[in-house]
Structure 1
Amino acid sequence: MSAELKTGQSGATLILTVSNPGGRLAHPDLFASAVEALEVAERDDGTRSVIVKGLDGLLSVSGNLRDLAERRLPAQDALAQRIERFASWLDALRMFTKPVIATVEHNADGAGLAVALACDFIVAAESARFSVPQLTAGIAPDSGITWLAARGLPKALAYELVLAGATLDAARLYHAGVVNRLAENGKALDVAIDLADELGTLGAGVFARSKRLLEEAATRDLLAQMRAEGDALVELSR
């Protein structure tokens, strides 16, 4: 059975589920479908937040780890298409103006971890695990994980995951401020829906503008950032 993106709804929250039984290399069409779903949700006033689940169905955008370790690489054009479409999905998550929550019930490894870090919030079950297994397979990391880990994780955790090939549990990432909510096993989606309902009470314009300020802060000095905050204050007061 091929990978697919399933959609569901809980109140004003769109739920996107990566369904990839039997393998963790998703077809690039799945990434394109995810971008399209976010574009539709962006325009839909009835959708106030998005949850992404099923991330244990993703591992690498480049290929099967065993094949890559044995230097059996995909065709260059096919690899380029995978990279571009996956990057488009990550960018769509990062730029989405409504709250996006990743749920991790089991594992988020490699590409799955990249998707989680591209979301605004992460809800993980107590037994969830996070890793970047490419290093232990003797290959370079992919799926944008080095870019996202460098920006979304404390340096010590980023290095431990990417350079030491460590597997970290949800509790450690929760105490490090990376995971926002810990859930009982089997309850990650329920906790994520509760969080989405809380976030849905915020003004859409305020959330979108504040997220944009956070995303752009690294490109400005302090004074420029404060001026941007002032511009946002004026804009939202109109």
Structure 2
Amino acid sequence: MAVLHGERRGRVLVLTIDDPTTRNALGPDIYEAGAEALRRAGEDPGIGAVVLTGAGATFSSGGNLNRLAGLRDGTPEAVRAGIQGLHGFVQAIRTCSKPVIAAVEGGAAGAGFSLMLACDLVVAARGARFVLAYVKVGLSPDGGATAFLAQTLPRQLAAELAMEGGVVEAERLHQAGIVNALCEPGAALDTALARAGTLATGPGEAIASIKRLLDAAYAGGLDAQLDCERDSFVANLFHADAGEGIAAFREKRPAAFGGVG
């Protein structure tokens, strides 16, 4: 089971998603722990910045597909509640008064990509790979991915990432402006800590107000979009296409989608 480790590095709090057996897959325990850790960090005058990373060679492989398959046997209400956990973590990143920096090794997929997009700054190792492959299993993104992509990218590129679900490397995201800094493999955490350390010694109130102002520029966007993402995800999870997509992924075969509602 994944756990979230918290470690103080001077005025920087490092939060590490840790589950080597699933390449740091996400689930309710991580969402709850992450939201609570960020709430406490925002209230702690001894913390000036937060770094979010994954243990080992991967940031996060995203949601656990086996858990999603099991949810199809339940109710839409239960799925909505689970997605609200992820969205609570995302909202905690956005509303935390301290800057949050993602340090990405290896790559981020699905909800892991969404968490990375929610962060204020992103440091990624060269060659790291990112994928928003919900569509590959008949699902639509959650975790604010469509909101953040729409805010930061041309519509056509955002549509490519979400509709095709292909892999994109850190270098392309750096060129597009999503990744702030590239580093050599193995150096993402140290690079992020250096930037976080600088921010942590800066004017905290001014930085917090800048974060609020940037979010206010998209007033009314994220909360409404999170609700839309949740409802679309639930509807898609209980559609036959998701049943086929998840089964095909688990059986390592091409999916045969019906293509109709």
Q: Under TM normalisation by the shorter chain, which class is it?
A: 0.7 to 0.9
Q: CA deviation at 1:74?
A: 5.1
Q: 1:58 and 1:166 mapped to 2: Cα distance?
A: 14
Q: Which runs of 5+ in 1 are unaligned?
A: 221-238
Give the equivalent residue in structure 2 for 1:157: 157
Q: 2:68 and 2:43 mapped to 1: Cα distance?
A: 41
Give the equivalent residue in structure 2 for 1:31: 31
SS in 1 for 2:52: strand
Q: 2:145 and 2:73 mapped to 1: Cα distance?
A: 20
Q: CA deviation at 1:129?
A: 0.8
Q: CA deviation at 1:199?
A: 1.3
Give the equivalent residue in structure 2 for 1:205: 205
For 1:64-115, what per-residue CA distance to the aligned partner results, in whole angstroms no more than 9, with x for missing partners? 17965xx971523432221111111100101111110001101111101100
Q: How does 1:1-238 map to 2 (within 5 A)?
A: 2-23=1-22, 25-54=25-54, 56-60=59-63, 64=65, 68=69, 73=72, 75-76=74-75, 77-219=77-219
Contact 1:21/1:57 (<8 A) preserved: no
Contact 1:58/1:110 (<8 A) preserved: yes
Q: 1:89 and 1:72 mapped to 2: Cα distance?
A: 20
Q: CA deviation at 1:13?
A: 0.5
Contact 2:99/2:211 (<8 A) preserved: no
In the alignment, residue 124 of structure 2 is paired with which amino acid? A
Q: 2:144 and 2:60 mapped to 1: Cα distance?
A: 17
- Runs of 4+ aligned structure 1 residues displaced above 4 Å come to 65-68
Q: 1:192 and 1:67 mapped to 2: Cα distance?
A: 32
Q: CA deviation at 1:177?
A: 1.0
Q: Which runs of 5+ in 2 are unaligned?
A: 221-261
Contact 1:28/1:81 (<8 A) preserved: no
SS in 1 for 2:14: strand
In the alignment, residue 37 of structure 2 is paired with which amino acid? A
For 1:194-237, what per-residue CA distance to the aligned partner results, in whole angstroms no more than 9, with x for missing partners? 111121232001011111111112339xxxxxxxxxxxxxxxxx
SS in 2 for 1:139: coil
TM-score of the superposition, structure 1-length normalised?
A: 0.83
CA gap 1:180/1:208 in 2 versus in 1, 3 angstroms: same
Contact 1:5/1:19 (<8 A) preserved: yes
Give the equivalent residue in structure 1 for 2:254: none
Contact 1:103/1:123 (<8 A) preserved: yes
CA gap 1:36/1:67 in 2 versus in 1, 3 angstroms: closer
Aligned length: 215
Q: 2:151 and 2:163 mapped to 1: Cα distance?
A: 16
Q: 2:119 and 2:219 mapped to 1: Cα distance?
A: 20
SS in 2 for 1:56: coil
For 1:4-45, what per-residue CA distance to the aligned partner results, in whole angstroms no more than 9, with x for missing partners? 111112111000011123226433122111111111111111
For 1:40-74, what per-residue CA distance to the aligned partner results, in whole angstroms no more than 9, with x for missing partners? 111111111000001633413xx517965xx9715
Percent of aligned pairs with the same residue?
37
Q: CA deviation at 1:146?
A: 1.9
CA gap 1:126/1:204 in 2 versus in 1, 3 angstroms: same
For 1:161-217, what per-residue CA distance to the aligned partner results, in whole angstroms no more than 9, with x for missing partners? 101222111111111111001010100001001111121232001011111111112
Contact 2:104/2:188 (<8 A) preserved: yes
Q: RMSD of the TM alignment (CA)?
A: 2.2
Contact 1:25/1:64 (<8 A) preserved: no
